[in-house]
A and B are shown apart, each in its own frame.
Chain A
Amino acid sequence: MNPIPIQLQDASRSFRGVPVIKNLTLNVQAGSIYGFLGRNAAGKTTALRMLAGLIRPDSGTARILDIDPFSMGAAEREWLGYLPERLAIPPRSKVRAVLNLGRDLYPTWDASLAESLVGKYGLSVEKRFSTLSQGSQRILGFIMAIAPRPKVLLLDEPAANLDVIARREVLDDILTLIRDCGCTVLMSTHILGDVERVADQVGILANGALRVSEPLDTLKDSIRQVRFFGFSGALPTAGIPQSFRTVRGKDEIVMTLRTNSGVTPESLAARWSCRQETRILGLEDIFVELSSN
């Protein structure tokens, strides 16, 4: 049986007594690109660090390809590519030396892929790490993560500090990796347009727990913002379906809710004898609606 490649099971983690991740269960299926969303300090980086084997959960488990990432051997490490939030590369190392280190560490290192990426992104191999622009530092970290052709890729804000063109190219490189070697990707980002373009699954993390975790298509197909108006009598107070956000006005109700075959804007309007107008939401609006408390 193929294990779920990326898995957190009921994981919790606190720092100095402050809980950051609370009973988080997260599964990323093989071949998926999972867009991991959340506001700053929602706990995305902590979750990724647990999966990368840098910190242990206080309780619960982290698994990469069914192995505890904290106790991975060198051979298993090759399967896991990780771009951390902050790169731990000595500032005085030259780009060439960093790439050579990757080649020596990983038997699966694809030198021709690394070279072609260095060329494509215009990195100068003789430059020292500290003299690279923030974006180029990010690119070098990205190359280090994907050149070993990993089976699992964890990316913590891959697009941070990149210009639009470089960002598109990074996304294309991720897609190419998926097409060529069936890699599974978990990617945290604030750039929702990137997620909409490439991710098939999304999760929204708020206060250390997932608000939603599902296919992006399902999310876009089912979340609707509906304005109910033209009530013949008083606004209803009972029988209101659960919603992510409800704003009650004097003679209208605006709610963001999950529609399904049983709950439709039309059926609610019929029940309340009012009228309704429905708006479909892009991911940015969905994110705002679902992240607010």
Chain B
Amino acid sequence: MFLLNPSSGVPLYVQLHQQIRQRILTGQLTQGTQLPSVRDLSAELHVNPLTVAKVYQILERDGLVETRRGIGTYVSGQSPTLKMDARRAQLDPALEQLASEAIHLGIGEAEVQALLAEKFRKLKPQD
């Protein structure tokens, strides 16, 4: 199930793309899993089929899914590098916001790195 907020300034296709990508990268959707058809998913989400078709195209372009003509769309097996690139892409908006916020507040790079390291220790004490 995907949760969309149509009245957000973030276009629906971006919201849906991020959620599906996230699920593929975190292993909630595993290799070989069939995604719902454009028709079914657009009916379920009450959105224009063009929105879903656009998301599937982007996922396919990025190598995260493959479409077998006339059969369906499946989560593809990814090479470790591709997976790493896609994970970094997922993280990028958060990093950009962090950096821009820090610049605005006049907090330097070194201090941000220290603060970030502290967060890591807090959230993932094992490492």
Listed in ascending order, the chain A residues whose CB lies under 8 Å from chain B are 31-33, 168, 171-172, 175-176, 178-179, 192-193, 196-200, 216-217, 220-221, 275, 277, 279-285
Contacts and interface: CB of A to CB of B under 8 A. Distances in A.
A220 B10 contact: yes
Interface stretch (B44-52, B63-71, B80-88, B116-124): B44-52
Nearest to B38: A179
Contacts, number: 59
A198 to B, nearest CB: 5
B114 to A, nearest CB: 24
Contact of A198 (B7, B11, B48): B48
A282 B8 contact: yes
B104 interface: yes
A168 B9 contact: no
Interface of B: 6-14, 39, 42-43, 46-51, 54, 104
A218 to B, nearest CB: 9
B46 A175 contact: yes
A178 B48 contact: yes
Interface centre among B9, B39, B47, B49 (most CB of A within 10 A): B9
A275 B106 CA distance: 12
A149 to B, nearest CB: 17
A275 B104 contact: yes
B49 A175 contact: yes
Given A175-B42, A282-B7, A283-B7, A196 B49 contact: no
A172 B47 CA distance: 8
Contacts of A282: 7-9
B49 A178 contact: yes
Main secondary structure on chain A at its contact with chain B? helix
14 contacts: A32-B50, A178-B49, A196-B6, A200-B50, A216-B11, A217-B14, A217-B54, A220-B9, A220-B10, A220-B11, A221-B11, A275-B104, A280-B10, A282-B8
A79 B39 CA distance: 23
A283 B11 CA distance: 10
B48 A280 contact: no
Contacts of A172: 43, 46
Contacts of A217: 11-14, 54
Contacts of B9: 220, 279-282, 285
Contacts of B54: 217
Contacts of A199: 48
A280 B93 CA distance: 14
A285 B9 CA distance: 9
Contacts of A175: 42-43, 46-49
B52 to A, nearest CB: 11
B7 A284 contact: yes
Given A196-B12, A200-B51, A168 B46 contact: yes
